[in-house]
Amino acid sequence: MTHPENSKINVQQVNWTYIGMVSFIAAIGGLLFGFDTGVIAGTIGGIVKDFNLNPWQEGFAVSNLIIACILGSVLTGPLTDRFGRKRMLLLAGILFTLSAVLSGLPHHYWQLVVARFIGGLGVGIASVLSPIYIAELAPARVRGILVSVNQLAIVVGILLTYISNWLLVGMSDNDWRWMFEVEAVPALLFTLALFFIPESPRWLAKNNQDDKARDIFRKIAGDNYALSEMDRVRTGLEKEEGGLIELLNPRLRVLLFIGFSLAIFSNATGINVIIYYGTEIFKMAGFVEKASSFKAQMIIGLTNLLFTFAGMALIDRAGRKILHVFAYGLMTLSMLSLGMMFKMKDVAPLWMVIPVMTYVASFATGVGVVIWVYLSEMFPNKIRGAAMGIATMLIWLANFVVTQFFPVLRDTMGGNVFFLFTGASLIAFLFALIMMRETKGLHLEEIDTAFETKGHREI
């Protein structure tokens, strides 16, 4: 039985301190996600030099973490549906801390690979769970901005790596080791803070712990909200068959196709080439001094942060689809411009920063903010963990392919490699324009029906 009179949440009843604190702590997983992936931009030069790596080994020094992310995201789906969101986030925190300590110690290349692999498992877990956890606690009308706090945290984590890397340049002959070690502090704080947050109420309800789930909803926005949310969750669970086999349900074909395709496009369009290899790209563009390329990378990180705020301000107003489409359109033009500048050869290095900034700004405003919100909310409750795990695996798989092969493509194609990302961005633009459905303002239990429009019920 539903309670329509209680379906409209009173914003004055929302305990913003509570929901804000819980969302913030969960989002630190995103910050460590950003730090762990972004720190490589400053360390790769020293790693290549100290271990005398060829382009394939250079690529693997970066991409081995992505393999671990794929494994972590695949395992997280079924494990979090069984053991809960909170316990798996705690595991991620432990893995982040261990990896940060070990990554600064290796004397052989494969020791570094193992240390980074451990961190990759943590990134894979956090990339699945931080947005899911926040989405399952957040009231519908503010879910977009609260889940996008996770993306903001990722961006902040990346920017912090650029700043700390720049500050540590020249600290010692092995300054890259210190760049890895500094992550241990926020990783340990994240692990300790997780003891003070609750389990996801929707996971509790799915596992027949209604009293605990109701208490958490009550803390968020009072008795009426708890009553209506529990009714909504129960109704949603009764309609779903549940289990991994549900992923084969024809009713979900469109939902899964759209979600998984958007997951692939989000990384196949080249964002992590800028994040991981930015300093090397700026060296290609003509920045001679090491410190200059690091400064240019910090500008990119700051651009990423500022436009993430813009995306957060717009996601619950403009909506998910329009931001996604707009972003991919500008990303296409930006990559095209960058590729043309490399072909012209006489362009001043500083000018090449502009299309990179435009690309990052477009991604941050649209794709970066939208993708984690969209994926965390579009799948039904009983399969959310498993479906989100697969979607996140596909994100990391696309990331791995791009990351592993970029050094080789860079050495063989030069600046023409950016035309490949131009094409990928154009395809993503057309897909988002045609296939995405708007989900802003809908309750989680209502969203899958938004995809069941005429001509799009099945593929």
Residue 421 predicted with pLDDT over 90: yes
Q: Average pLDDT in the 184-195 region?
A: 93
Q: Give me the pLDDT at residue 242, please.
A: 53
Residue 106 predicted with pLDDT over 80: yes
pLDDT digits (tens, 9 = 90+) for 115-129: 999 999 998 898 888
Q: Give me the pLDDT at residue 240, please.
A: 57
pLDDT digits (tens, 9 = 90+) for 287-317: 656 566 677 778 888 888 899 889 888 888 8
* CB of 260 closer than 8 Å to CB of 394: yes
pLDDT digits (tens, 9 = 90+) for 139-167: 877 777 887 788 788 888 888 888 888 88
Q: Give dist(CA 353, CA 349) in Å, integer.
A: 7
Domains along the chain with CATH numbers:
14-197+240-451 (1.20.1250.20)
What band does 5 get if pLDDT is binned at 50, 70 and 90? very low
Q: Distances from the Cα of 234 to the Cαs of 2, 180, 206, 215, in angstroms?
A: 10, 45, 8, 15
Q: Give dist(CA 255, CA 175) in Å, integer.
A: 46
Q: Give dist(CA 409, CA 348) in Å, integer.
A: 23
Between 16-30, 145-159, 199-213, 314-328, the lowest mean confidence (pLDDT) is in: 145-159
Q: Three-class SS string for 402-423?
A: HHHHHHHHHHHHHHHHHHHHHH
pLDDT digits (tens, 9 = 90+) for 376-392: 788 877 677 678 778 87
Average pLDDT over the chain, rounded to whole?
Answer: 83
Q: Average pLDDT in the 408-422 region?
A: 89
CB atoms within 10 A of CB 109: 15
Length of the chain: 459
Query: Percentage of the chain with pLDDT > 70?
Result: 88
Query: Percentage of the chain with pLDDT > 90?
Result: 22
The alpha-carbon radius of gyration of the chain (Å, integer) is 22
- Please identify which residue in the block is written with the tokens 């968020």: 220
Residue 455 predicted with pLDDT over 50: no
Q: Give dist(CA 44, CA 41) in Å, integer.
A: 6
Q: Which of 379, 28, 30 is nearest to 202 (CA)?
A: 379
CB atoms within 10 A of CB 60: 21
CA dihedral 249, 253, 255, 261 (to 10 degrees): 130
Secondary structure letter of residue 314 according to DSSP: H
Between 52-61, 173-182, 443-452, the lowest mean confidence (pLDDT) is in: 443-452
Secondary structure letter of residue 368 according to DSSP: I
pLDDT digits (tens, 9 = 90+) for 335-350: 999 999 888 877 777 7
Structure tokens belonging to residue 141: 């009308």
Q: Give dist(CA 94, CA 9) in Å, integer.
A: 37
Kind and range of the H or E run holding 322: helix 320-344
Q: Average pLDDT in the 182-192 region?
A: 92
Residue 7 predicted with pLDDT over 50: no
Type of residue numbered 340? M
Opening angle at CA 98, ends 305 and 127, nearest 5:
40
Between 139-148, 181-190, 365-374, 443-452, the lowest mean confidence (pLDDT) is in: 443-452
Secondary structure letter of residue 364 according to DSSP: I
Q: Give dist(CA 179, CA 401) in Å, integer.
A: 25
Q: Give dist(CA 238, CA 240) in Å, integer.
A: 6
Q: Average pLDDT in the 195-215 region?
A: 89
Kind and range of the H or E run holding 300: helix 290-315
Secondary structure letter of residue 200 according to DSSP: P
Structure tokens belonging to residue 396: 């990391």
Residues 6 or more apart in contact with residue 165 via CB below 8 angstroms: 39, 41, 42, 43, 179, 294
Q: Which of 300, 321, 270 is nearest to 425 (CA)?
A: 270
Secondary structure letter of residue 199 according to DSSP: P
Type of residue numbered 92? A
Q: Give me the pLDDT at residue 448, please.
A: 60
pLDDT digits (tens, 9 = 90+) for 265-283: 998 998 988 887 777 777 7
